[in-house]
Structure formats: structure tokens, C-alpha cells
Structure 1
Amino acid sequence: MALSDDELKALRQSLVERLKTLKTASTDTAANRKPVELDQTTVGRLSRMDAMQQQAMALASENARNVDVQRVQAAIARIDKGDYGYCTVCDEEIAPKRLAVDPTIPTCIKCASGGE
């Protein structure tokens, strides 16, 4: 069951908005990912350890955000090429319920689970 042009247009717009939100979040949290100052005269050891842990969590969040950005960009590209809703592995239609859960899903359930 293919999506109508209006549904694809609305989906594309929501993906573009999601992409903007991800990029804004990345910009807003850039300071949290900066290297931690190791000057013992200004910051105590426990404070440095806490700052390093917070930096590591911020870096992990940024990595996850970057993966999400790539998935959203790929979904937008599939919409633009007319390939959206079809598995990138077997070219069969992806179940609409699967796409409803995550519109960036590139594969059908069979290919995602490794089945043939």
C-alpha cells in the first residue's frame, strides 16, 4: 500500500523538521562535548572525574544523534528518489505499520531479521 503524494509530502516535511531538531540539539550541546580541563589548581579531582563522565555521556549522545541524522537524511533521499517504503535489500514493500513506528526504517522485517 503506497503512500499518496500528500502523505509523502507531509512525511518528508516531518523528517525535515526532525533533522532540524537534531542539528539544533547538536549545536546546543556542543559545549558539553569539549575536552575537560585537567588543571588541578582550579578544579578538584572528583569534579574533574564528574566532568569527564558528563563529557563521555554527551559524546555518546552526539554519536547516537549523528546516526539518527544519517537515517533521517537517507529516508528523505528515498522519498525524493521515489524509493520510500521499499526495502533497500530485497526491494519488497515495507509494512506500513513498521514505517509508522519508525519512518526511517530502510528494510522490511524479513531482511532486518536476516531471513530470506
Structure 2
Amino acid sequence: MTERTDLDIATLRAKLLAHREELLADEASTAEARATVDAGDTAMGRLSRMDALQQQAMAQETERRRQVELKRIDTALHRMEAGEYGYCVHCGGEVAPKRLDFDPAAPLCITCASAAKS
């Protein structure tokens, strides 16, 4: 594959790196919310404990999603380095520049992404 000339790779790389830094900053700031809830804490009432467990579960799911997004970003950066960025990882066709501008980590063209949702 040849590097695409219709894409501003530097701008897209900067967007990816900025989003990656935001995610990493969020990860550090939510570490306490994901910590284990002490179910044996007798000073905490049953409803407070249930609420704490729910908050913990939501924070853990947010972290899981954050890790998925970080992986998407890292994969897109790797494709940039390999000269494969901007091409669909499924069919090899070009990913529309507007799609990449909206989501620089998008690995699929719109046709393949639509087919994957079905």
C-alpha cells in the first residue's frame, strides 16, 4: 500500500496523541473509584455499600472502554508508522477522509463498518 496523499497525517496523528493523553489522564484520576469496596466495613450501611459497589462497577466498565479506545489509538498509530493508515483493515479499500477526520482511529471503511454492525 502506498501512503495516502489526500490525508493530513500529521494533523490526524496529533489528534490521536492528544486523545491518548486525555484518556491516560482520566485513567489516573479514576483509579480510586475502581478500587475494591470493603464489604466488611460495618460503619457503612447496606444501601451505602450497594451504592459503592455500583459506582465501582461503573468505574470498572469505564476503564474497560478506555482501554479499548487506547488500543484503537495505538493500532492506528502503528498503521501510520507502517504506511497502512487510511486503508480498511478488512477490505483494503480507502477509508473516507471525513470518516478519519471524525474518528482518526477508525480501522474500517463505512461499507465494512456497516456490514460489521449487521
Alignment check: 8 A CA contact 2:15 2:104 kept = no
Alignment check: 8 A CA contact 1:2 1:85 kept = no
Which structure has more RCO (C-alpha within 8 Å, separation ≥ 6)?
A: 2
What is the alpha-carbon root mean square deviation over aligned residues? 1.6
Identity of aligned residues (%): 43
- When normalised by structure 2's length, the TM-score is 0.87
Distance across 2 between alignment mates of 1:92 and 1:40? 57
Post-superposition, which runs of at least 4 consecutive aligned residues in structure 1 deviate over 6 A?
none
Task: List alignment gaps of at least 5 residues for structure 2.
Answer: none
Task: List alignment gaps of at least 5 residues for structure 1.
Answer: none
List per-residue Cα deviations over 1:45-75 (Å, max 9, x = no partner).
Answer: 1110110010011011101111110111111
- When normalised by structure 1's length, the TM-score is 0.89
Alignment check: 8 A CA contact 2:37 2:56 kept = yes
The one-letter code of the counterpart of 1:37 is D
Distance across 2 between alignment mates of 1:41 and 1:67? 36
Structure ranking higher in helix proportion: 1
